[in-house]
Structure 1
């Protein structure tokens, strides 16, 4: 194949937007059906065992391609600066590389604010982003072709087998400023291409790297190094007598002359430039002299609509690269209806996108500190206004990042763990980003899978981090305040309390002793939100940039704190200071802190603790007692704060006598006193019962409706907001009914009964069914625990009682009223219309 023929095939494959078209081009030239022309990917016939066993989601797999483009951009700039990437003079981190080679503001040391995309001006982000483009082509409403182009180092044709098409190579293992180190060649994305798993690769080496001394001496050298190289990857195995499928790529050169089987060389041609980049929303229009294009044919994105929409690809990448080392451009190049504005956007990551975002609640502290095994980890907390979170996340609740890239996540029902987190009301509107970059390479490997899309299951270190995060969020003052504010919002427009509904249910329960046993001792309701004892201040707190004191709350600086601690319980030390709340989490001149145990004249650092996360000059440090202490011992600890600018140091020493463990209250609850005029013995007995919930009707127009429901078919949302009383967790439920439920509206439109009576029937039926489900769940768990099969770990999956109750209510909503009206007499004459609770919130 001559130079012109090779270039025409390359361009034709680039423009082909379906597997069928690409395969036909290869068949027309005699390549597709001849196995001699196809080389094993990674020169390994068993490559699918590695290449096919990576990410479980298409967006995670594609994200690896994007990370590689950032790596190659930084590698290029390093070598153009005359620095070998593996040499001692190379950057020691990704941020340092960005600061030195992109920002070009290196002064010998990395400034705290250096190398962060979120701090760049918009114009500079846009300028740098032109070096990486992600664009989609093909027919709309079908699986698109996803193209990734970069102006990185590029590769020579001879280097393809050792770089772009390698598996298990350690090309970047000694380079400190890149992400890709697992030698997978970002092959995870191939699984999500079309049926034949086609992937096109076009690349040309940057001319200034040819013969450059900064390039590794092991890099191949050939007389065609100035050429563009290209190949196409496919999966083989169907219809062949092989035990496992495998990947191969087009490498037809030197095969005809009797070369080694499946060890040919990729096609190549001379050309000054190629249009591998888009221009605006037009694909393959911008010509470049070097770089790489990877085209993924018919890529299996979950949503095939416009990639710039809130449910499209670009917002997903924001979440997977919340703090990218470099920005990139996203282009929608398919035939959607064109507007006057180009279908392009700059992707700078979630952090940049959420800076000063109007969809966020003002929650303080916005960043919290956890110290686990001696590593300080920072978690950013994003609390969205009701209904806004769907623009930024799907089911993700806590995402774990390293160097700005997501490594895995925990689903948002993490926040709904009632005992350990207690943020059920906010679960749909929270996102926490935990930066794990400070972990060692071994700890990162223990915690995350090499595919970088999930955590290692049942890993003790990961479970300890999760436990610390649970505790920090449970005690977070800003989130507690927001939770209570949301509870008030749900009640503000409630026109009546639940007392009438209780009276109706009392009459129902009198006729059914079995039904009465479901309920606990009394039907009185819990307070909807616990009042916070907040001391009013005369003026807002104004923190100083550097502290002049940091001491135990209510004590003088240097005064020793003497207080008891209970064996087996966490210790919480309260502090006060005059420094600004961001002192320990800010980017510049961050305060230093050390918690240590004083034992036998030595300081033993305590490697695991939470805080202090300051709010208005107040914060707590929480930690577990050392494992070797016993009742009667005295534990002496010291918490020291040091200011890196002023040099001031504040040491705070505490002596903690260890008392016996707090025994949880296990006796029966005292019976409530009967109200005046109410005869005793009116309460339902049985410790296995449950208190009657608060019930609220929520209309779609209410601001909190999106926090409870996602569609008009939804009927019920349950929140469990209990508390620990006398060492024992006591559940308390709140039921939210959808006032605009589709089935209810249909019944109201055609019923001959008074609307209030029908609504009351619906309310009582749904509440009783859900309460029965909760009761059964409690009984089942109680029996399992008595049998020794219980677990202390709270439900963290999709099968929680709240989820099951919501699905049950949604399913029975269309039949609940006809069933009640057909089988019972609970109609207009049985229900006092004044009993209606909660017209709408």
Structure 2
């Protein structure tokens, strides 16, 4: 083909939005049915298993494409400066590259203003065209670009080590972003690639240095003798089609113009009829923008998202700068006042350092930022896995009233490559089930459960939810005690002489005022002094905590610009195995006892806190004495065993469960802010939340359940009050039974894993009681039960 013919072919493919159009264009050019014009993707005839075993969702696969574009722009800047990317003179991290090339500090786009981000986003664009169900997405970048000769070794390669030795890029997995292919057009999985090398970094030895290269990737059915499909790309005679043109109109103009502005060099990739999924098909600046921000919480460079489908909107273009920037911009409307500056800290697990940030949303505000995600794990700004929000509902965490509001981001960029491999699956979109992962969960549980700000907010939310709604707990306890006495099984769940816990043990909790700390603290003092003569007693099998009073702002140690630093030393040697949290003037240092320590040893530590404002650091010392191992009670929630029948000093007399607080919910309550999260309707029955303290629970009973109302209307022989009581107490006993079952099921499990789609015990109670609601009262009546009548 002549130069102009290849150029016309390329532009026709750019303009196409549907698979049928692309097939017709390639048939007309004589390529579609010519097997000799197609080359194996990655030069591997069994490439389907490699390409198909990457990201499991279309959104994560799309992120890989965008990350590759970010890498391409960073590579361009490095090469333009005459530095080889794998040279020691090159930036040694993405954060260094951001600072050196674009003036972005500490790897945070929040360190530059919105105008700068918008200008910078012109380097990378995501454009939606075609239909609203399965749009075509174009990823366009002004990065290094590739020559036709280099494309098979870069954009179309598999398992190559092109970037493995380059420290300042993210895409080091040698897959060329091929995971997106499986989500392209339904039958042939079509993708278009056009690229041209940046003229400022071209290789004069490459005869295609001035050329644009164009190719199409497709999936082919299994050939005779082959077990699986395979991917190929257009390459007549084994070479990428090439043509010369100074500029191509590949960039969008103002809405609705799709191809208006010229691209001088870089890469254009089009994913035809991409199966993005039902929840992400809307206007690009809404659901997809929200999702990509979550999947790239601290993306290295901003991305311009352009909607060019036939949607009516206030604006059709938006700059994606990641979740962190988005939360910072929208904090006053969406975050609880005391968390508008996130609670940040460091934690250390198996010698690996993690930075974390804790955000807490106002009621109902989290859903536009994250759905079921509770904890986000990222590397270099890209999300690699999640823990679901049910993680917060576990008894060992105790934040069930905040589970729909908490979002924690954990930056794993500092951990070693080997530990990254232990934590994440090779697909880079989910966590692996390893000991390292469970150790991180354990540390995180401890941080959350002991976070004073979260505890106060949990108690406040609970009080707002149940205040003025509690039933007469004494009457309830008396009735329940009568039932328990007649059942040995139920007796094992409760203490003799049923105990009622004060539902407002958190009395006095008031709405928090915003804490105003100082950018650079004027003091950092231990709350209590532990000297060598009066050391802190610490059991060898537990971590220990030391607390400090300070006037530093909450993000002092983790902010983008000029953060403070804490150094912990033991006998002059730096200790890395510690976690640090600073909240409203109280810094908590959690330290692991060194493995070499022996029972009776006295260890003296020193802390130094420093920042650029200080000539000398804040210095303090504390000593601990290593005590013998303390026995740990079994059970995931820390509950005691039922009373033993044997006599002796170790006999436990505490209740296995506290009597729950019962709150009646009526139809007028269903949509109130305090109860909306429970999802009550005419068919729902019981919802349960942990009080977050000890073994206490709050039970929310739907008194306007349609099955209860129908039974009260149709059963003329039984007093409606008795029917309501049977329903209420029956549901409570069912809920208690499920809690006990789940507790015993997990008791002997060393590592309680949290699956991404797992149901919490509270979800199970909701489902099972909803299912039982139609039959509960008829069953009690038919079995002749009268115990609930007092």
TM-score with structure 1 length normalisation? 0.82
Q: How does 1:333-412 map to 2 (within 5 A)?
A: 333-336=308-311, 338-339=312-313, 341-355=314-328, 356-357=330-331, 358-363=333-338, 366-412=343-389
Post-superposition offset of 1:13? 2.5
Q: Verify: 1:430 aligned to 2:406, yes or no.
A: yes
Q: Please, what is the CA RMSD of the aligned residues?
A: 3.6
1:286-335 Cα offsets, whole Å, 9 max, x none, are: 23232322111232222265444787222111011111111112223333
Q: Verify: 1:801 aligned to 2:765, yes or no.
A: no
1:602-630 Cα offsets, whole Å, 9 max, x none, are: x343321122x233432222223223333
Q: How does 1:647-686 map to 2 (within 5 A)?
A: 647-663=615-631
- Rate the CA distance shift 1:778–1:545 in 2: closer, same or farther, 3 A: closer
Post-superposition offset of 1:166? 1.3
Post-superposition offset of 1:114? 5.9
Q: Which residue of 2 aligns with 1:467?
A: 442
Q: Is the 8 A contact 2:134 2:281 kept in 1?
A: no
1:563-582 Cα offsets, whole Å, 9 max, x none, are: 32233232222222344443
Q: Which residue of 1 aligns with 2:662?
A: 695
Post-superposition offset of 1:192? 1.9
CA distance in 1, matches of 2:74, 2:704: 54
Post-superposition offset of 1:161? 0.8
Q: Is the 8 A contact 1:719 1:733 kept in 2?
A: yes
Q: Is the 8 A contact 1:373 1:607 kept in 2?
A: no
CA distance in 1, matches of 2:712, 2:259: 59
Deviation larger for 624-633 or 321-330: 624-633
Q: How does 1:136-147 map to 2 (within 5 A)?
A: 136-140=128-132, 142-147=133-138
Q: Is the 8 A contact 2:477 2:500 kept in 1?
A: no
Secondary structure at 1:585 match in 2: coil
Q: Is the 8 A contact 1:38 1:251 kept in 2?
A: yes
Equivalent in 194, 198, 202 of residue 202 of structure 1: 194
Secondary structure at 1:42 match in 2: helix
- Rate the CA distance shift 1:230–1:392 in 2: closer, same or farther, 3 A: same
Which blocks of at least 5 consecutive residues in structure 2 are unaligned?
Answer: 634-639, 646-651
Post-superposition offset of 1:458? 0.9
1:428-450 Cα offsets, whole Å, 9 max, x none, are: 21111111222233433443334
Q: Which residue of 2 aligns with 1:245?
A: 229
1:746-793 Cα offsets, whole Å, 9 max, x none, are: 778999898766654543332222223334444555xxx6xxxx2133
Q: Which residue of 1 aligns with 2:108?
A: 116
- Rate the CA distance shift 1:517–1:116 in 2: closer, same or farther, 3 A: closer
Q: Is the 8 A contact 2:536 2:623 kept in 1?
A: yes
Q: Which residue of 2 aligns with 1:737?
A: 701
Q: Is the 8 A contact 2:470 2:661 kept in 1?
A: no
- Rate the CA distance shift 1:499–1:122 in 2: closer, same or farther, 3 A: same
- Rate the CA distance shift 1:153–1:628 in 2: closer, same or farther, 3 A: closer
Which blocks of at least 5 consecutive residues in structure 1 are unaligned?
Answer: 104-110, 213-219, 256-263, 672-684, 724-729, 833-841
Q: Is the 8 A contact 1:402 1:437 kept in 2?
A: yes
Post-superposition offset of 1:745? 7.4
Equivalent in 260, 267, 275 of residue 241 of structure 2: 267
Q: Which residue of 1 aligns with 2:179?
A: 188
Post-superposition offset of 1:60? 1.1
Q: How does 1:136-535 map to 2 (within 5 A)?
A: 136-140=128-132, 142-193=133-184, 194-211=186-203, 221-222=206-207, 224-238=208-222, 240-252=224-236, 255=237, 264-282=238-256, 284-288=258-262, 289-303=264-278, 306-308=281-283, 312-336=287-311, 338-339=312-313, 341-355=314-328, 356-357=330-331, 358-363=333-338, 366-419=343-396, 421-460=397-436, 462-494=437-469, 496-506=471-481, 519-528=494-503, 530-531=505-506
Q: Which residue of 2 aligns with 1:127?
A: 119
CA distance in 2, matches of 1:512, 1:670: 17
CA distance in 2, matches of 1:335, 1:367: 42
Q: Which residue of 2 aligns with 1:835?
A: none
Q: How does 1:547-586 map to 2 (within 5 A)?
A: 547-555=521-529, 562-586=535-559
CA distance in 2, matches of 1:639, 1:571: 15
Secondary structure at 2:346 match in 1: strand
- Rate the CA distance shift 1:750–1:314 in 2: closer, same or farther, 3 A: farther
1:361-389 Cα offsets, whole Å, 9 max, x none, are: 13466112223455542211111122222
Q: Is the 8 A contact 1:566 1:659 kept in 2?
A: yes
1:671-703 Cα offsets, whole Å, 9 max, x none, are: 9xxxxxxxxxxxxx9989644321223423332
Secondary structure at 1:703 match in 2: coil
* Number of residue pairs aligned between Structure 1 and Structure 2: 766
- Rate the CA distance shift 1:536–1:191 in 2: closer, same or farther, 3 A: closer
- Rate the CA distance shift 1:492–1:192 in 2: closer, same or farther, 3 A: same
Deviation larger for 512-521 or 642-651: 512-521
CA distance in 1, matches of 2:655, 2:239: 74
Deviation larger for 754-763 or 33-42: 754-763
Q: Which residue of 1 aligns with 2:604?
A: 636
